[in-house]
Structure 1
Amino acid sequence: MLLLSPDSVVSVDAMVEAVWQGVPPATARTQVAICVAGLRKVFRAEGCGDDLITTVHPGYQLNSAGHRIDLLVLQDLVQRAEQAVGGGRTAEAAACYERALELWRGPVLEGITGRQVEDEAARLEEVRMCCQEALAELNLALGRNLEVIGSLAAAVREQPLRERARHILMRAQYLAGRRAEALETFREGRRQSVEELGLEPGAALLQLHDAILRDDPALAPPEGGPPPAPLPAIPLPPAPAAGSRPTPSFLPPNVPAFTGRAAETATLDRLLEGRAEEQPPGIGLITGVPGVGKTGLAVHWAHRVAARFPDARLYVDLCGHDGTREPTTAADVLSRFLRALGVPSEQIPADTGERTELYRSLLAGRRALVVLDNARDAAQVDPLLPGTGQCCVIVTGRQPMEQLMLRYGAVRVQLGVLPPGEAVELLGRIVPEDRIAADPEQAERLAELCDRLPLALRIAAARLASKPHWSVPHLVARLADERRRLDELSQGESQVRAGFAVSYRQLAPDAARLYRRLALLAAPDVTVWTAAALIDVHLFEAERLLEHLVDVQLLEVTGTDGTGRLRFRQQNLLALFARERAAAEDGEDERTQSLHRALRGYLTVAEHAHRVEYGGDFALIHGSAPRLELDALLLEELTADPLEWFEAERLSLVAAIEQAARLGLDELAWDLLGCTVVLFRTRAYLDDWQDSCDRALAATRAAGNLRGEAAVLESLGERWIGTQYVSAAAEPLLRAQALFEQIGEEHGRALAVRSLAVLDRVQGDPASAGARLTEAVELFRAVGDLSCEAHVLGFLAQGELDLGRPDAALAYAEQAVAVARRIGETGVTAQVHFRYARVLSELERFADAERELQVVLRVVTARRDLLGSAHARLGLGETMLRRGRAAEAHAELLIALDLVGRCRTVVAEGRVGVALGRAAAALGRTGEARERLNRAAELLRAGGAERDLELAAQELAALGPAAGEAPGGDIGGV
């Protein structure tokens, strides 16, 4: 201890601590005095004077005057070498480093144990290696390539992970004409780096390797002699000042390949803004799910700002969420911190409160950074907080720790998963970037399979880096299997599953049960009522448990949906873990009952929402699947705006239909589909409609469920008519009608007949359409379906218009409006008023027609009905055109064209195109008119709309032949 601090006082307490490591005997101070006396006797015998070791309160001092002390000689030689380099005296600098290295005659302080001595020995070993590397750089600059190879080859074998030494050796080998040896040196270093660290070599080594492969001319020494070698300063610490200890700096090494988190880092940076001494310390609370990188951000930020805290940089892992160790007590942490701050062990109070008071007293007026990692709760943290504003504290944990925000104004940083680009970037910083860049789509897929969770990403990247023969798609294929994914990401010391398990074990039984059951549901997210259904508890209890799972980072809030309700989501990896626990802890009957309750709950609410939307139980038939009994007030609250509820639950409903179908719950699947069609139709979710039909149809057919099969086929036919690809609608609708007739289902038959009538009209068969509509309206009256009755009457009005009988059409339209009024303002309101407006327009009651169309537009806009809005705009445009307002009509029809384009309905788009062609012709834009009409004809032909196709042909014929075209030519292919 005296030799390590020449010309500085070393206190007796410091010697006691170094020798006995915190557990000194009662006679420790006496033994120190005896040892010092013995040392003086030995030195005196060797001819040293009594002034070599002197007694200076509170200990002893080794004086260098007149004596050679290797540590001081080393410091002097290093300083002279660095000055020579700065002055361009390369040979002189090399000579100084050679003399410095000659001071070593083996490992420093070999055989002496004790933390402080061992730390100093390690530091001096680092100095030796830095000197050796500096000397090699200088010799390389002096052209002594073979000498460098001889001195560094052994050093690189002893410490294979020192990349600077390997870099110098490779350059020396290359300059000596040993190109193959240089490449082998790189390969050996890369192998050891990947095997021991799971990391590729650093950028400097990779660039040198590439340069050697290319025989880069820049590697050759410059002509005219070597310049002085630019060398970093040797990390030789100055001897401590009298009576002082080194500044406590407990920070672990910085995080390699740290990526992203710019916004979070900026938030923490605000803790550094000027704080008065009397203010509380700046406290940053970093929370997030296991593996999201809380510790990484804390350590990275601490290293960034360490220079701002010259008095102490303290760090401790509080083991608050550790699978193998008990949480660290505040008393133990305070004992460690106090010793680091210079308090002798025997002066540390036994009482925790008194230790906190002493700790805060020592930090008063000092600038200290304290990192409290992996905290369990605020109670564990509170005694470790400094008392003044000059200090800064970073806390990481999984609990929200509201007390820290309330009492001290802590700033919370809630870490989420990395954005897609940064997740891929992190992979590329660990795996050679060319492997990631070679297949960017698979790299993005890999990041998603890791939930873009930094821990999982690092594990996956380390596996790729350690296995150069694996491609990114190969690892993606391994992770794609949900049954293996957690196994793949839980190998070695870093385990995703282990991190989840620690949080899970700390849950109360009811919270753990909800966590497991949430993963049974295929829905991407849930609201409180769904969680309550899963575990059969009251809404308030479900909300409490959900919030608790959010607090412990096993669940996340994705936001508020259109109905004003919070939505909760499990990340994929957490859901996989939850399913594992459910399979291990819950019986099959428990899991089945829980899942069925939730699925029946979706059917209950969807049925009620459909009923509210249609003004009654209209426009569909129901199955026999049992419903979940829900509170009437809850149902009213959920479906106050039925379409908004359907919109909020869309993905969950699609998932529920698929899951019910997969589980053989065919009655539930087709019934839930029927209730949800109103959303698919109104908001043009055509892919969801198709997928749900396919799933439900397969389930009903597998079960031999004729009624369910017929209902799904009728819905599928509606879907094809809705998209206006009418040719695809006939087969499912005819099959549905036949099945309904076979089983005697009159309401279902009425629905199929109505859809077939619509199909007839679109395909240009008004007689068949009229007959079917007349049959359908009687059937709907018989079963009491007012909504469909009004809808069919509106179509009968349109049929009479098509036949040129506007007076008869008016009678049907007025009947339709009257029936619609009996059920309130619903989606049917817009349809019947649209037909009514068409009739009024034909009767040249244009003002009345526009008024009715404004009613339509108000209703469909409120419902966000894209296709309905398109038809309303089309009706307005056609009415304006008939009134001679061609410019206004053209503008209105352009809006309609945009809307139908978003709905992907070819016949509707064709109809708008015909109207636009007429408007362009009225404005004298013949070229535009012809282009619009030709495009419309193509769309109408593709959709099988024969009647509309004839109208397009008539409009084209009215324009006359295009320039250069013979009269009577094939216009628009019609």
Structure 2
Amino acid sequence: MEFSLLGPVTVATGAGELPLGPAKRRSVLALLLLQPNITVSIEQFITSLWEDEPPAHARTVVQGHVSRLRQTLAEGGADAYGVELATRGSSYLLRLPEELIDAHRFSELSALARPESAAQDAVSLLREALGLWRGPALSGTVSGAQFAAAAHALEERRLAAVEALATAHGALGEHGQAAAVLYAEAAANPLREGLVAALMGALYRAGRQSDAINWFHRTRQLLGEELGVDPGERLTRAYEEILRAEAVATEPPRQQPAAGPQPSAPRDPRTQLMPDQGRQPAVPHQSSQAPAGGSPQGGTERTGGDPAHPTAPRHLPRPPARFLGREAQLAELTWWLTDNGGGESPIAVVAGPAGVGKTACAVQWAHLHAAAFPDGQLFADLGGFGEGAEATPAAVLREFLLGLGTPPDHIPPSADAASALYRSLVARRRVLVVLDNARSSAQVRPLLPGGPGCATIVTSRSRLDGLVVTDVARPVPVQVLGTDEGMALLGTMLGHERVAEDPDAARALVHLCEGLPLALRAAAAQLTARPRWRLARLAAALSDERRRLSLLSAEDTGIAAALATSVARLSADDARLLSRLAMGSGREVDALAVAALAGSDPDHARDGLDRLAEMHLVDEAATDRYVISTLVQLFARDKDAGEKGS
């Protein structure tokens, strides 16, 4: 169950959004969520909903809205999430784990970010925090001073997080990305001088000094016309810093005496940060692996970036929390990608079913071996199995080129030209590229580097056989965890003492979760939220197949959500085939039986089963013998029942 304030006020469960009703009822819920686990008096509700003109029956109206909210939450399974809407005399209390509220998670993620001292981690944290926003805060509530003030406070925190994200990009030398982060916000808030000043600094350091100066003059004119004031200290200081730096950059070199020590070369002012932007140098990391007779990029032509100072991007997400096991897969990746097992520019495809931990395995290896790729690590989520649209090669290439130091106006508009520039920039560098969540080989190919010192990891729910054929990619399958590994994962999540109290129940949980790390983590989340529950109680609840998928979900993640994105990528024929397999009583089927069940010829059935196996929705146990997991069966049955019901 997830409560949202950062956009429309909503409550969502694994089955979808709960019907909250009219604006006043949403407003009652919003007031309770703004003060979670604290009593709110009925007088506060009346004042917030009607301000100075409440109706005579206002108290009854509030009581009615609370009663309907309590019923709606109960129907959504509030008890299972530790959520209770309680009455305390003439006040009400919404008791719940605060991490169920998106505004609370946003605040925690933002507070953890250290844009200057831990910039790479800050980028990941702040992107995740800002990704929780779905529109103006508290949308759908009544108009009133209290809601407006609360929404304004949340918006101020959002803008502060945007500026912090830009600062983190700047500390990493990613000034083009810092400018991109700030541009839309500055355009939407043209009188917010701090945003404009930060944008000016980012634009200047990205080599766009004319754009930076134009922003100052535009903002100065707007301040005069709208407010009748001059620019404030921060905006003026940013402008003066740019002018002083430009004067130094254009000053002709002074003549030096013929004899005596020569002065060092003038420093480019763009390598020095402006006030309020931290003190890390903006000169990008330069590889120690430059080839003899050339720059680290293998040439001096400046088609994008600065060949003398190549940028070393650090785009990896944070290392996976409490990662364990996968020694065989990590060893195979090491052999193939760094021990010359794969030859020049090797590629590994980490493939497996939804929720098995492919991304965690790839990111863990990338962090362990980052030192082997001193010229940078690039990461992109291709969105091949997500709810939104897939990432286009052009969009990913733009991010990669910005990370490699290419000014935004030097990036070619066509994907083919951008791909060629990208390959040129990394041709003589040692760069690791991680392409996560790919749908097809065609989506990946334009993003592959060609340099002999580069390596690529691709993760996918599909085997991506095309990459194996055309690019000699190495398949690295990731399987479900065994019983001992699954129990060890539960121990790291819950504490080994709690697992040791009832090892039989722990084994039962691993079995019911079918060894899938995502399912085990979701089960651990349920137990973490209920410290008084014994493992046997959850195992008993999961034994009820009608509840299993909902219990193995946490907020917007879980087995049902993961399988939904896989099934959504199937053709209509393959989706029907999966549905028929799910209706069977057993887990193991053969191609001839499936052909008879589907009313098709055996070859057609084999082709469909092979496509499902390629997507890891079934497993090929032997020739013409296939196994479907119980979790996939349950999901397909629920989906089929839902479609028939609608």
TM-score normalised over the length of structure 1: 0.38
Which residue does the alignment assign to 1:287?
351
Check the 8 A contact 1:334/1:359 in 2, yes or no: yes
Which residue does the alignment assign to 2:79?
none
C-alpha displacement at 1:35, in angstroms? 9.4
Which residue does the alignment assign to 1:582?
640
CA distance in 2, matches of 1:337, 1:330: 10
CA distance in 2, matches of 1:447, 1:42: 62
1:310–1:579 distance in 2 versus 1, CA, 3 Å:
same
CA distance in 2, matches of 1:458, 1:521: 29
Which residue does the alignment assign to 1:321?
385
Describe how 1:351-362 pairs up with structure 2 within 5 A.
Answer: 351-362=414-425
Partner-residue secondary structure (3-state), 1:396: strand
Which residue does the alignment assign to 1:797?
none
Check the 8 A contact 1:549/1:555 in 2, yes or no: yes
Partner-residue secondary structure (3-state), 2:557: coil
Which residue does the alignment assign to 2:502?
439
Compare the two structures and name the one with the higher strand fraction.
Answer: 2
Check the 8 A contact 2:346/2:473 in 1, yes or no: yes
CA distance in 2, matches of 1:501, 1:373: 18
CA distance in 1, matches of 2:644, 2:620: 26
Q: Pick from 468, 473, 491: which aligns with 2:531?
A: 468
1:21–1:249 distance in 2 versus 1, CA, 3 Å:
farther
1:457–1:53 distance in 2 versus 1, CA, 3 Å:
farther
Equivalent residue letter for 1:282: P
1:365–1:52 distance in 2 versus 1, CA, 3 Å:
closer
Partner-residue secondary structure (3-state), 1:55: helix
C-alpha displacement at 1:545, in angstroms? 0.7
CA distance in 1, matches of 2:489, 2:593: 37
1:30 and 2:93 matched: no
1:119-159 Cα distance to aligned partner (Å, 9 max, x none): x5xxx8xxxxxxxxxxxxxxxxxxxxxxxxxxxxxxxxxxx
C-alpha displacement at 1:260, in angstroms? 1.1
1:266 and 2:331 matched: yes
**Relative contact order: is structure 1 or structure 2 higher (C-alpha 8 Å, sep ≥ 6)?**
2
Q: Pick from 481, 484, 487: which aligns with 1:421?
A: 484
1:54 and 2:248 matched: yes
| RMSD, matched Cα | 4.1
Which residue does the alignment assign to 1:254?
319
C-alpha displacement at 1:492, in angstroms? 1.1
Greater CA radius of gyration, 1 or 2?
1
For this pair of structures, how many residues does the alignment match?
408
CA distance in 1, matches of 2:490, 2:587: 26
CA distance in 2, matches of 1:241, 1:36: 27
Equivalent residue letter for 2:630: N
Describe how 1:700-739 pairs up with structure 2 within 5 A.
Answer: none
1:503–1:11 distance in 2 versus 1, CA, 3 Å:
closer
CA distance in 2, matches of 1:352, 1:370: 18
Partner-residue secondary structure (3-state), 2:554: coil
Which residue does the alignment assign to 2:470?
407
Q: Pick from 517, 521, 529: which aligns with 2:584?
A: 521
1:312 and 2:376 matched: yes
Check the 8 A contact 2:491/2:499 in 1, yes or no: yes
Equivalent residue letter for 1:403: G
CA distance in 2, matches of 1:518, 1:359: 45
Q: Pick from 476, 479, 485: which aligns with 2:548?
A: 485
Sequence identity of aligned pairs in percent? 35
C-alpha displacement at 1:288, in angstroms? 1.0
Which residue does the alignment assign to 1:348?
411
CA distance in 1, matches of 2:415, 2:271: 41
Which residue does the alignment assign to 1:568?
626
Which residue does the alignment assign to 1:89?
none
1:257-287 Cα distance to aligned partner (Å, 9 max, x none): 112111111111112345499x642111011
Check the 8 A contact 2:311/2:404 in 1, yes or no: no
CA distance in 1, matches of 2:214, 2:452: 46
Which residue does the alignment assign to 1:240?
283
1:548 and 2:611 matched: yes
1:557–1:240 distance in 2 versus 1, CA, 3 Å:
same
Compare the two structures and name the one with the higher helix fraction.
Answer: 1
Check the 8 A contact 1:11/1:60 in 2, yes or no: no
CA distance in 1, matches of 2:245, 2:592: 84
CA distance in 2, matches of 1:293, 1:329: 24
1:379 and 2:587 matched: no
CA distance in 1, matches of 2:248, 2:178: 15
Equivalent residue letter for 1:308: A
Check the 8 A contact 1:13/1:344 in 2, yes or no: yes
Check the 8 A contact 1:12/1:59 in 2, yes or no: no
Partner-residue secondary structure (3-state), 1:526: strand
CA distance in 2, matches of 1:53, 1:14: 26
1:51–1:317 distance in 2 versus 1, CA, 3 Å:
closer
1:438–1:334 distance in 2 versus 1, CA, 3 Å:
same
Check the 8 A contact 1:400/1:551 in 2, yes or no: yes
1:63–1:548 distance in 2 versus 1, CA, 3 Å:
closer
CA distance in 1, matches of 2:497, 2:271: 59
1:450 and 2:513 matched: yes
Equivalent residue letter for 1:289: P
Unaligned runs of 5+ in 2: 1-115, 117-166, 188-198, 218-230, 252-265, 286-305
1:479-504 Cα distance to aligned partner (Å, 9 max, x none): 01011100111231212101111111
1:402-425 Cα distance to aligned partner (Å, 9 max, x none): 121112111111211001100110
TM-score normalised over the length of structure 2: 0.57
Equivalent residue letter for 2:373: F
Which residue does the alignment assign to 1:646?
none
Describe how 1:393-404 pairs up with structure 2 within 5 A.
Answer: 393-404=456-467
Equivalent residue letter for 2:317: P
1:592-621 Cα distance to aligned partner (Å, 9 max, x none): xxxxxxxxxxxxxxxxxxxxxxxxxxxxxx
CA distance in 2, matches of 1:429, 1:418: 14
1:614-656 Cα distance to aligned partner (Å, 9 max, x none): xxxxxxxxxxxxxxxxxxxxxxxxxxxxxxxxxxxxxxxxxxx
1:834-871 Cα distance to aligned partner (Å, 9 max, x none): xxxxxxxxxxxxxxxxxxxxxxxxxxxxxxxxxxxxxx
1:499 and 2:562 matched: yes
Check the 8 A contact 1:12/1:60 in 2, yes or no: no
CA distance in 2, matches of 1:511, 1:481: 28
CA distance in 1, matches of 2:351, 2:338: 22
Partner-residue secondary structure (3-state), 1:375: coil
Describe how 1:778-817 pairs up with structure 2 within 5 A.
Answer: none
Equivalent residue letter for 2:360: G
Which residue does the alignment assign to 2:128?
none
CA distance in 2, matches of 1:532, 1:435: 48
